[in-house]
Amino acid sequence: MRKFGLIGKSLDHSFSPAYFLEKFRSSGLADHSYDAIELKNIGQVADILGSGDYHGLNVTIPYKEAIIPYLDAVNETAAAVGAVNTIVFDGGITVGHNTDVIGFERSLIGLLNGARPAALIFGTGGAAKAVAFVLRKLGIDHRFVSRQKSEGSIHWTELGDSIVDESMLLINCTPIGMFPNVDDALPLPYYRVGPDHFAFDLVYNPSPTRFLQHCADQGAQVKSGGEMLKLQAEASWDLWNQE
Ligand code: NAP
């Protein structure tokens, strides 16, 4: 058997197990399996990593950062972001990677079609850090919007019309609007959004979210997180199959 799995805390509604099991079924990979590995605390991960059972692993909330001290090495991108969502077993050595970065970059490039507009990143959590890494790489100016004002971010209450006029790329990295709270939308002056804006929501359920729907109603070009999710899964698969 070639065994794979997802490490997390509460995995009932996780995307990856269903995605990979369907991929293995449709590709005729009968000797491949993908487990949902729920850990009550990150200390339990040492047994999983040392078991020798797995060919590759994914990592999700809340362990993307906490897993790092348990790994033998972390690649440059994952180290810069400070989060790991994919583990490769390389000759007995565990190496952490971040394919959220790859998934977001590829999906964003498809949306922007060559444009490099200034961006607002809503939220400052793990996903926001991966998004900021990609924007830096692409040379896109960006500001964070947060519930806490700090040197690197503005507070939601400072989000006036002019900032939305100046920021043509709006990226939701908060859970606002995610199922079951599907009626919630980011508190933005949507009447300032127009056809020159781009809106990206990392939330993939529902698709579109209220935020994306409001932006699309104003003529903006929009993209939901579903494509990023599939691209990050495929990037993990590619890493596990590299010789
Ligand atoms: P996280 O670490 O919990 O961070 C979310 C951030 O959003 C927080 O740091 C917080 O920033 C802000 N936030 C949280 N609750 C809020 C609220 N009620 N109102 C306003 N701001 C709030 O989560 P994450 O891992 O970054 O993930 C964020 C979202 O992206 C989730 O919905 C996740 O499912 C999605 N995601 C999607 C993909 C994909 O492939 N499509 C990949 C990764 C994540 P402040 O404290 O600065 O306000």
Query: Can you spell out the DSSP letters for 23-59?
Result: HHHHTT-TTEEEEEEE-SSGGGHHHHHHSS--SEEEE
Instruction: Among 174, 176, 178, name the best residue to mutate to test ligand 1's pocket (greatest count of ligand atoms within 8 A of Cβ).
Output: 174
112 pLDDT tier (thresholds 50, 70, 90): very high
Tell me, in angstroms, the distance from the centre of ligand 1 to residue 101's CA. 15
End-to-end CA distance of the chain: 18
Q: Does the pLDDT value for residue 216 go beyond 90?
A: yes
CA–CA dist 95, 89 (Å, integer): 6
| Percentage of the chain exceeding pLDDT 70 | 100
13 pLDDT tier (thresholds 50, 70, 90): confident
Residue 213: what pLDDT?
Answer: 98
Which of the residues 64, 137, 149, 223 is marked catalytic? Answer: 64
* 3 in active site: no
Q: Over the Cα atoms of the chain, what is R_g?
A: 19
What average pLDDT does range 177-196 have in this prediction?
97
Name the more confident of 171 and 92: 171
Residue 106: what pLDDT?
Answer: 97
Least Cα distance to 236 among 84, 105, 126 occurs for 84
> Residue 175 carries which side chain, given as an amino acid letter?
P
Q: 45 vs 54, 63, 227, CA distance in Å? A: 12, 10, 29
What average pLDDT does range 31-44 have in this prediction?
97
| Percentage of the chain exceeding pLDDT 90 | 95
* pTM of the predicted structure, to 2 decimals: 0.95
What average pLDDT does range 195-202 have in this prediction?
98
